[in-house]
Structure 1
């Protein structure tokens, strides 16, 4: 079951989402003594990360991962890691060993995907099956993709691995697989803009094809929360 929250503007969406995420982090640490969170790239999460950086949180109890990453150097302008570090992680006293970026400096994305998968398995002490992240943040493209799970790509068919290689034309990515995302305790979508209306309509349609609109594949065992602005929802009457 989805929890859908709609806001009159992108700024209102961001303000509410940052409060929700900070509270979720704090509650998880209180309950478990640790919080594992996988970050999204893009423009919408950036001000959320900047807001989190201003909080006094127990940084040593947080472990940071990424749901996907372009196969570029960490200092590349397109790097999700670079954006999150500049907006948040470089501004707080989080131990370096608590930051778990995807490896993207080799020449073999498939090998690096397996390497990162093993890192995650070792961290969660989960030699088989799929570990459960506490929080996974996701965006959605106007084609319905999420993370680097793009329509009609091989990554959508990978149901065995935690990490797989995503493709957008000639741009290689590493990405969480859909089963790994769906093992999460809480998945939070952040979606804004009128260009998302058609994809949202298809994602929430009972008749649409998940391979055409991959965000439809995301049905986690835990919470699924959509933060939308009015522009994204448009005239749609979305029923969770």
Structure 2
């Protein structure tokens, strides 16, 4: 694992640096393998990044879009990560609909939705059960409790090691989420973290020793590159 930590002056600089890294990694993937895959995160921090990506001239038919996690709501719900990314980016570019792979949220049982999405990913990457594909880029945020994707402190999802997709739990509300092993098979993981409220958790995530069950972002140790991009408010005194 190649770990990089950068503290940027403000959120605008954080978004610009993220854009540079994402474009470089996607273009390299397309050159080397003919296609590129990226998993998106939710929340307010990556929204300007998505809006910037909408202005790029990319070979859209070579790009496949995923999400690292999703609230169990319809795509048109205000809390939907898919819905936000479509409005900010995907609806504005000529990407083939079949290249967009949202997490299904229409099953009565979220576990069935997770299973369905796992099978879709296996078919696309031509992997067998128990085998983890390597996505080119996974974007992540971090909550002020140290969670990432929908891997929340002291929840069952943190223990899942044999699945690509599982059900997360936030205050009794189900989420669909990438598992830690799937994230860790990525070629490049980029955390975008902004705000002074993230500093206490960051200090534990970056500490020499701390409990990953309490600070799940510590579980993210990808086989490829790991980038922590922090704005000044989040990174002050941490690095």
What is the TM-score with the length of structure 2 in the denominator?
Answer: 0.97
Distance 2:217 2:102 in 1: 23
Partner of 1:10: 11
Deviations 1:63-117 (A, max 9, x none): 0000000000011000000000000100000000000000001211011111110
2:33 corresponds to which residue? 32
Query: Partner of 2:138 in structure 1?
Result: 136
Aligned partner of 1:189 in structure 2 is 191
Instruction: Give ranges in structure 1 of 5+ residues lacking alignment.
Output: none
Structure 1 runs (4+) deviating above 4 angstroms are none
**Alignment correspondent of 2:71:** 70
Q: CA RMSD in A?
A: 0.8
> Could you tell me how far apart the structure 1 residues matched to 2:43 and 2:136 are?
21
- Once the 2 structures are TM-superposed, how far is the Cα of residue 197 of structure 1 from its aligned partner? 0.4
Q: Which residue of the partner structure matches residue 174 of structure 1?
A: 176
Distance (Å, rounded) in 2 between the aligned partners of 1:36 and 1:16: 19
Aligned residue runs from structure 1 range 134-173, under 5 A: 134-173=136-175
The equivalences for 1:77-156 within 5 A come to 77-128=78-129, 129-156=131-158
Q: What residue is the counterpart of 1:228 in the other structure?
A: 230
Q: CA deviation at 1:23?
A: 2.0
Gaps of 5+ in 2: none
In structure 1, what is the Cα distance between the partners aligned to 2:24 and 2:137?
Answer: 12
| CA distance in 1: counterparts of 2:135 and 2:39, whole angstroms | 7
Deviation at 1:43, TM superposition (A): 0.6
| TM-score, normalising length: structure 1 | 0.97
CA distance in 1, matches of 2:53, 2:27: 11
